[in-house]
Structure 1
């Protein structure tokens, strides 16, 4: 679960620098009590499905490319991590979850607290990259973080 360790490291760095405020309090509340083994499983997980990593073949199949972050985990992880991408594309958090609910593995996800925690870790990684990443990537990372914040707020309410 090296990917989760990386997300946790960036989250800890951000929370250490931003000890308070609505956004940071929301993230802290979302990840409070989260355990890495909540994501354990034996399925191959991509961990980074995004528009650049999804290609449509000539026969209409959607293919996932760039498996550099792949690892093993629970079968629902990739479905959950698609939600903020759909929000980024213009869907509301509720409609994004409704679309993802058509993916069978979504229904195997645990109760909302684990989903909110994974979403918060995903979002905080984008926050970190928006603040500290390469200058040419900061704007799109900030946009992804904004989508993630909307989803976490939706999940936390």
Structure 2
């Protein structure tokens, strides 16, 4: 059974598009590569055939994993969310107590995480530390070299 994960409408659309691409474009490409390698002769000594079969196996595994993810995917209704606490899709402005640096992160599902655009997974160490916190609270995040403390300055949607 697949586990439930929450996505924005855009994130879910992106997952569906990736699955469609893998099934409609990559899968026929892999089959064609196997056919071309098979036509080259003796399969017992055909490294190209073995590589094509391996690539097809990896592709099928990726498709299967994506289908499992989509089976457990749910769209988040932002209008029903509590704005007083940091939850999935919350935009949280925090201040590092050690160096005073302010950061803004949007908490998202694993599949949508992109640190460059300020989106962190709710399952990351910082994401886990921020979940459920309110403005004015301190989030303690366990990192390899100790504990980092962040002041929650603002939570928006």
Structure 1 or 2: more strand by fraction: 2
Structure 1 or 2: more helix by fraction: 1
Higher normalized contact order (CA 8 Å, seq sep 6+, divided by chain length): 1
Larger radius of gyration: 2
Task: Tell me if TM exceeds 0.5.
Answer: no
